[in-house]
Structure 1
Amino acid sequence: MTSKTNDKTAENEVESEESEQGKEIEVDEEVLPSRAAAVHEQIRQEGEKELERDGLALLFSAIAAGISMGASLMAKGIFQVNLHEVPGGFLLENLGYTFGFIIVIMARQQLFTENTVTAVLPVMHKPTVGNGLLLLRLWGLVLLGNLIGTALASLGFIHMPIFDDATRSAFVSISQKVMENPPNEMFANAVVSGWIIATMVWMFPSAGAAKIWVIILMTWLVALGDLAHIVVGSVEIFYLVFNGDIPWQQFIWPFALPTLAGNIIGGTFIFALLSHAQIRNDMRNKAKAEAEAKAKREKQRQQGHTAN
């Protein structure tokens, strides 16, 4: 049993300089060149753990996350019904969007664009074929699980006798608003959404006890901007599909493909790449300075021997 577990761990092991040397990733701010570098290395360490996780564990966690994200549509719908005559009700209604994110992130469930952002850093640190395949495996399993979970949540909202007609109408209204965006606007909104979620992830190591407030503020901003998110949006669009308001093909286009591409580009390639480039330059300069100092000490030692 132990042998099989070890084989599976080795199969999913991330390739990095530290793993080759049998070391842990250094996250001590006093050792690294900057606080930003310490945050980067901490997130990279989390990313390696996610990449090496068992596939079934990832899938079930992602399904749970998809179901949990249904709380965002539920809260927004209930708020819309009860706050439509309240001044500033729009602001409070969009606060409901944050509920699903709070549940998923605080419960450490697998959410595409959140946990999957951290997994990009190990690949950028060492862009090998093996690491790339591990990233695609993680993305595929998490996205599949999230979509299964959001579909289950939407089916539950439609068929379970939980909500009154006014709340169900609010669900339809909220979801139809998402579909008003043409594909190019859906993509652009998703790029900004992906950027904001990636920024939120980057803030977590410094947030401490304020982590829940970071989640609320950053995801509330996504809601206020009517930005597109592949998982939250899936709950809404699946609701329209299962309710018979739109054909299932419209889930794929104009919603899913532009939104998924935008989230990946905004969160993964733009934010993570720029942040990684900054830190790698810091680390390279630090290593260069250490090498020069070592060479200088060696030269001084050799001159001392010659003088003797």
Structure 2
Amino acid sequence: MSEKAQANQDEDQQVEEYSKAPSSVIYEAIRREGEHELSRSTSALWWSGVAAGLAISTSVLAEGFLAAILPHAEWTPAITNLGYTVGFLIVILGRMQLFTENTILPILPLFLSPTRSNFVQTARLWGIVFAANLVGCLAAALVLVHGNILPAERFAGVLAISRHYAEATSVEHFAWAVPAGFLIAALVWILPRMESAGEVLMIVIVTYIIGLGGMSHVVAGSTELFVLVFTGELGLATALFGCILPALAGNVLGGTGIFAALTYAQVREEI
């Protein structure tokens, strides 16, 4: 067999193996990534989480910019929510620590070995990353409101989408956060099988659906809420207890309570 034919055969075999990777293989890949995240230092997790909070705020910027220049029509959200995908692209492709990704990553090792040590490690990871994400969002909102970094007409678009997000009740934020948590966890599950170009497309599709559906994402939504806090339109307690914590509970239920649990159930006999 010629070298070219052998190379083609090897390539075909690699493609076949990759495309037919069973769920147990994907589970193992994500579990190992989860174990790596659990073993990272507090400092590494913290600064990666802060960076993610800052970066996810570009979703608010991009969506607000589009809202500022487009007319108010029924079709407008179909365009403005393309901006919502920007922050997720930066965070996920940049491998930053986003809390909603961690509703599945460290949970798979925990399901496999539900020891006290793993519970403590998972709680540590969640606490650090969530707090860091909020600090990043808080810093981004502070700069947006008081830094004078945007023209007034563009900032008006950011305010408009922030006000729309804050209109939901705590019950609505919880309910609307469940499918968002499920979709982000599904995205984490899918990405190991994707090529680089496919990663970009999948991130855009999934996060666009979240934005277009008006679902609540606890981190991206926090920047919008903090913008209103710094402009004096919303109280901090209302933002935290009426919006952020209900969205947090919904994201965790959708990502961990539903998707991660179902994922483990389908592969537990194989692993």
- Tell me how far apart the structure 1 counterparts of residues 72 and 99 of structure 2 sit (CA, whole Å): 35
Percent identity, aligned pairs only, is 40
1:263 aligns with 2:217: no
- Once the two structures are superposed, the pairs formed by residues 46-125 of structure 1 within 5 Å of their partners are 46-84=33-71, 88-125=75-112
Q: 1:178 to 1:122 in 2, by over 3 A?
A: same
- Tell me how far apart the structure 1 counterparts of residues 72 and 259 of structure 2 sit (CA, whole Å): 39
- Tell me how far apart the structure 2 counterparts of residues 159 and 202 of structure 1 sit (CA, whole Å): 39
1:149 aligns to what?
A: 136
Of 219, 229, 240, which aligns to 1:231?
A: 219
Question: Aligned partner of 1:214: which letter?
Answer: M
Contact in 1 for aligned 2:103/2:255 (Cα 8 Å): no
- Tell me how far apart the structure 1 counterparts of residues 73 and 164 of structure 2 sit (CA, whole Å): 21
- Tell me how far apart the structure 2 counterparts of residues 164 and 205 of structure 1 sit (CA, whole Å): 40
Question: Aligned partner of 2:256: which letter?
Answer: T
Contact in 2 for aligned 1:195/1:266 (Cα 8 Å): yes
- RMSD over aligned Cα, in angstroms? 1.7
Q: 1:46 to 1:166 in 2, by over 3 A?
A: same
1:213 aligns to what?
A: 201
1:222 aligns to what?
A: 210
Q: 1:70 to 1:34 in 2, by over 3 A?
A: closer
Structure 1 residues 72-81 or 180-189, which shifts more?
180-189
Could you list the runs of 5+ residues in structure 1 that have no partner in the other structure? 1-28, 284-308
Contact in 2 for aligned 1:116/1:138 (Cα 8 Å): no
- Tell me how far apart the structure 1 counterparts of residues 142 and 25 of structure 2 sit (CA, whole Å): 43
How far 1:183 moved relative to its partner? 1.4
Could you list the runs of 5+ residues in structure 2 that have no partner in the other structure? 1-15
Contact in 2 for aligned 1:76/1:96 (Cα 8 Å): yes
- Tell me how far apart the structure 2 counterparts of residues 84 and 216 of structure 1 sit (CA, whole Å): 23
Secondary structure of the corresponding residue to residue 109 of structure 1: coil
Question: Aligned partner of 1:169: which letter?
Answer: A
Of 199, 203, 220, which aligns to 2:190?
A: 203
How far 1:141 moved relative to its partner? 0.3
Tell which structure's C-alpha radius of gyration is larger.
Answer: 1
Contact in 1 for aligned 2:102/2:126 (Cα 8 Å): no
- Tell me how far apart the structure 2 counterparts of residues 40 and 117 of structure 1 sit (CA, whole Å): 10
Of 260, 267, 270, which aligns to 1:272?
A: 260
How far 1:253 moved relative to its partner? 2.0
Provide, for residues 26-56 of structure 1, a one-character-per-residue CA deviation record: whole Å limited to 9, x for no partner: xxx97xx961111011000100000000111
Question: Aligned partner of 2:182: which letter?
Answer: W
- Tell me how far apart the structure 2 counterparts of residues 175 and 85 of structure 1 sit (CA, whole Å): 16
Instruction: Specify which structure has the bigger relative contact order, considering alpha-carbon pairs within 8 angstroms and separated by 6 or more residues.
Output: 2
Question: Aligned partner of 2:180: which letter?
Answer: S
How far 1:87 moved relative to its partner? 8.2
Question: Aligned partner of 2:161: which letter?
Answer: I
Q: 1:185 to 1:87 in 2, by over 3 A?
A: closer
How far 1:88 moved relative to its partner? 3.6
How far 1:84 moved relative to its partner? 2.0
How far 1:166 moved relative to its partner? 2.0
- Tell me how far apart the structure 2 counterparts of residues 114 and 148 of structure 1 sit (CA, whole Å): 17
How far 1:85 moved relative to its partner? 6.1
- Tell me how far apart the structure 2 counterparts of residues 100 and 62 of structure 1 sit (CA, whole Å): 13
Question: Aligned partner of 2:90: which letter?
Answer: I
Secondary structure of the corresponding residue to residue 281 of structure 1: coil
How far 1:70 moved relative to its partner? 1.1
Name the TM-score, length of structure 1 as normaliser: 0.79
Name the TM-score, length of structure 2 as normaliser: 0.90
Question: Aligned partner of 1:156: which letter?
Answer: V
Instruction: Give aligned pairs, total.
Output: 253
